Structure 1
Amino acid sequence: MNRLFRDVDGGPLCPQGSVACIGAFDGLHLGHQALLGHAAARARALGVASVALSFEPLPREVFARPAPPRLMLSRQKVAALWELGIDLVGLLRFDAAFAAMSAETFARRVLVERLGVREVWVGPGFRFGSKRGGTLATLHRIGEACGFVAGEIAPVSVDGERVSSTRLRELLQAGDFAAAARLLGRAYTIAGRVVRGAQLGRKLGFPTANLRYPKVPPLRGIFAVRVHGVGDAPRPGVASFGTRPTVDGDEPLLEAHLFGFDGDLYGRCIEVEFVARLRDEQRFDDLPAMVEQMKRDAAQARAILGTPAQASA
C-alpha cells in the first residue's frame, strides 16, 4: 500500500525493515529513476518496503537566493514516486530545526528508528545533515554501528552529458522540449487541480483551465500544449505560463485553452504537456491587442499540433 509521511519523529513505519533512497527528486529524470528503480528492486529482493525520502520545501529553496525554479510540485512528485514502485514516501518538513540536525542524528532518528533500514542508496555527490556535513562515508560509518549498508549508484548520461535537474531546467527555459524529454524518458508535464480564476479568458473568447504554481516556475511564456485528463485522449491547446503582465498578475499561473472544449473542469486533476514554445510573455496596451495576439498564438499552436482551425472553440 502506498503511504506518505511528513515527520522525522514518530513510531516505526517499517517493522519488517526497508530499503531507502534519498534525494530532492525534482523532475524525476532518468538519473532519479535509476536510483529509485534500484532501491525498489533491492526492497523486493529482501522482501521489505521501499522508501523514497525527500523534503518540502527543498533545501536549496531555503538557502539559495533567489530560489531556483521548481520542476515538479510535491503532489505530482509523490504520485509519480508511487507509480515508480515506491511503497512509502517521506516528504520531510524542511524547517530551521531540520536544517540544524546533524547527519548522525538524521540517520539514527529517521533511517534507523523510523524506517529500520537495511540498505540506503544515494546518487553521486550526495550530502546531508547540518551544513551538508554528511556524506556516503558518514552513512557507511553509521551503518556499521546500526546494522545497515549504504551505496551509491552511477550517474546516468544522455547525449554524452550527465543527466541532472540543473541541465533539465536549462533545456526547459530554452524551449528545447525534445532534449528535455530525453533526460526525462517522457514528455515534460505539469500536473495539478484546476482552480477557479477571474474568468477573464472566457469573457475574451478563450476559456482556460488554470493551475496555480506556488513555486518559482521552470519556464515562462506561451506554449503549444496537450492536456491530459480530459477525455480518453490528450486535448491540443495553447497555454500561458507566468504572471500575466497585462492584467498585473502576481503569482505564477498556468492557463491552458483547450481547442474545441468549453466544459467545466473546476476541481479536475489535469496534466499539461509542453510541446513547443511560441513566445515570451508580454504586456499589451489594452485587452483587444492581447486578444488579437492570442488568436495568432492559437493559430500557431494548431499548426504545430496538427489541429484543424475549425476544431477550435
Structure 2
Amino acid sequence: MQVITSKDYNSFKSDNTCLAIGAFDGLHKGHQLIIKRAIKIARKNNYPAAVLSFHPHPLKIIAGKNPPPAVVSRHQKISLLEEMGVDYYFEQEFNQEFAHLRAEDFINNILIDKIKVNTIVVGDDFRFAYKNEGNVDILREMGKIHNFKAEIISQLHASDDRISSTRIRNLLKAGELKQAKKLLGRPYQICGEVIHGKKRGRKMGFPTANLKLETNYALPPEGVYAVKVNIDQQEYIGAANLGYNPTFNNQEISFEVYLLDFKKDIYGKRLCVDLIEFIRGERQFKSKEELIEQMQQDILYTRQLLC
C-alpha cells in the first residue's frame, strides 16, 4: 500500500479511483464495511482501491480541543488498511485551510482533480467541508454533475445499537474487552516503543518491557492482563500491568509487559500488545515477596489461558 499525504497528492497518476472516505478513527466493523465495499468495487472493475482519512483529528483544529482517546494510532491505521488490501492511503492534513474548504471545492479540487475518483463510498452519516455543510445528498448530486458514483453504506449495528468508536471507548473504560473485540473484529491493541524503566521487575526476577505508548490510547481499567505481543511480526505470550504500581508509589501511569520464556534485548523495539483477558485489578502489596508470589500466580494463569 502506498501512503500519499496531501502535500504529495499531485504525485498520484492513476485514475478511476474507488475511494472510501471517513475519519475511520477506530477501524471497527462499521468502518471495515465501508472500506471492504470500496475494495470489492475496485477489484471487480480493476480500479485502484483507496482510502482518504484525516490527520490530525479534526477536533484539535476546529475546536482547539484535545481529541478523544485513540482506539488506533496512525501507525496501526496504516497497517490495518494495508492488511485489508487497500492500494492507496490518502492522508489529508486537517489544518485551518482545509477546515474552511467548501463542499464543492473539496469535491472538485481534491476528489476529482487530484484523486480522480470514479466511485466514492461513505457511511450514511458522512459530513464534510466547512461547518459540515456537505452530506450524502450533496455528494450524490455532485456525482451526477461530475460523473462519479456515490455509494452510501448504512451504519452497522450490534445489539440494537450503532457500532461507533465512542461506544468502543466506553466499553474499554468499563473493562468490557470481549464486547470491544466483537465491535472491532480483533482484540484491542496497544502499541509502543520499549524504553528503559526503573528495572524493578528485573531485580525481582521478572524483567518487563516498559512501553512508551505511541498515542493517547483509550485505556481499560488498571490492572493485570493476559496478552499476546507482536514483535517483528512474531507473536509471544505475556502478562501486562497497566497502572501506577501502588506498591512503589508511582506517580505516572505505566504499561509494562512480561514476556513468557523470552530472553532477547528489545529496547527501542516497537511492540503491539493485544489485550486478551483481564486477570486482576491493581492493588498495593505489603512486601516485595508478596508481590512476587502474586506475579507468579498471574504468569501461571496466563500460561494456562494462552499457551
| Corresponding residue of 2:297 | 299
In structure 1, C-alpha distance between the alignment counterparts of 2:141 and 2:24, rounded to whole Å: 25
Tell me the amino acid that sits aligned with residue 93 of structure 2.
R
| Corresponding residue of 1:112 | 112
Matches within 5 A, 1:254-269: 254-269=255-270
Give 1:248 deviation, angstroms.
2.8
Give 1:242 deviation, angstroms.
5.2
Secondary structure of 1:31's counterpart equals helix
Tell me the amino acid that sits aligned with residue 250 of structure 2.
V
CA shift digits 1:128-172 (9 cap, x unpaired): 112222111221232233221212112222233321111111111
Give 1:71 deviation, angstroms.
0.5
Count the aligned residue pairs: 303
**2:59–2:66 Cα contact (<8 Å) kept:** no
Tell me the amino acid that sits aligned with residue 112 of structure 1.
I
Residue 248 (structure 1) aligned with residue 221 (structure 2): no
Secondary structure of 1:306's counterpart equals helix
Secondary structure of 1:122's counterpart equals strand
Secondary structure of 1:114's counterpart equals coil
**1:21–1:36 Cα contact (<8 Å) kept:** yes
Change in 2 beyond 3 A, CA 1:207/1:82: same
Secondary structure of 2:70's counterpart equals coil
| Corresponding residue of 1:77 | 77
| Corresponding residue of 2:224 | 223
| Corresponding residue of 2:12 | 13
CA shift digits 1:249-304 (9 cap, x unpaired): 3xx6532111332321224343211122345567x6xx985784465255235325
Change in 2 beyond 3 A, CA 1:20/1:8: farther
In structure 2, C-alpha distance between the alignment counterparts of 1:90 and 1:299, rounded to whole Å: 47
Secondary structure of 2:44's counterpart equals helix
What runs of 5+ residues in structure 2 fail to find an aligned partner?
A: none
In structure 2, C-alpha distance between the alignment counterparts of 1:294 and 1:129, rounded to whole Å: 56
In structure 2, C-alpha distance between the alignment counterparts of 1:203 and 1:60, rounded to whole Å: 44
Change in 2 beyond 3 A, CA 1:89/1:253: farther
| Corresponding residue of 1:59 | 58
Tell me the amino acid that sits aligned with residue 42 of structure 1.
I
TM-score, with structure 2 as normaliser: 0.85
Give 1:193 deviation, angstroms.
4.1
**2:191–2:272 Cα contact (<8 Å) kept:** yes
In structure 2, C-alpha distance between the alignment counterparts of 1:55 and 1:243, rounded to whole Å: 33
In structure 1, C-alpha distance between the alignment counterparts of 2:83 and 2:232, rounded to whole Å: 21
**1:223–1:277 Cα contact (<8 Å) kept:** yes
**2:173–2:218 Cα contact (<8 Å) kept:** yes
Residue 238 (structure 1) aligned with residue 235 (structure 2): no
Tell me the amino acid that sits aligned with residue 277 of structure 2.
A
TM-score, with structure 1 as normaliser: 0.84
Change in 2 beyond 3 A, CA 1:99/1:205: farther
Change in 2 beyond 3 A, CA 1:223/1:102: farther
| Corresponding residue of 1:145 | 145
In structure 1, C-alpha distance between the alignment counterparts of 2:142 and 2:289, rounded to whole Å: 62
Tell me the amino acid that sits aligned with residue 16 of structure 2.
G
In structure 1, C-alpha distance between the alignment counterparts of 2:121 and 2:294, rounded to whole Å: 50
Matches within 5 A, 1:133-282: 133-220=133-220, 221-230=222-231, 234-241=235-242, 246-249=249-252, 253-278=254-279
Change in 2 beyond 3 A, CA 1:266/1:133: same
RMSD: 3.0
Change in 2 beyond 3 A, CA 1:278/1:103: farther
Tell me the amino acid that sits aligned with residue 237 of structure 2.
P
In structure 2, C-alpha distance between the alignment counterparts of 1:295 and 1:109, rounded to whole Å: 63
In structure 2, C-alpha distance between the alignment counterparts of 1:279 and 1:174, rounded to whole Å: 14
In structure 2, C-alpha distance between the alignment counterparts of 1:160 and 1:262, rounded to whole Å: 47
In structure 2, C-alpha distance between the alignment counterparts of 1:67 and 1:4, rounded to whole Å: 23
Give 1:83 deviation, angstroms.
0.6
**1:136–1:152 Cα contact (<8 Å) kept:** yes
In structure 2, C-alpha distance between the alignment counterparts of 1:298 and 1:133, rounded to whole Å: 58
| Corresponding residue of 2:37 | 38
Change in 2 beyond 3 A, CA 1:27/1:211: farther
**1:100–1:130 Cα contact (<8 Å) kept:** yes
In structure 2, C-alpha distance between the alignment counterparts of 1:64 and 1:306, rounded to whole Å: 47
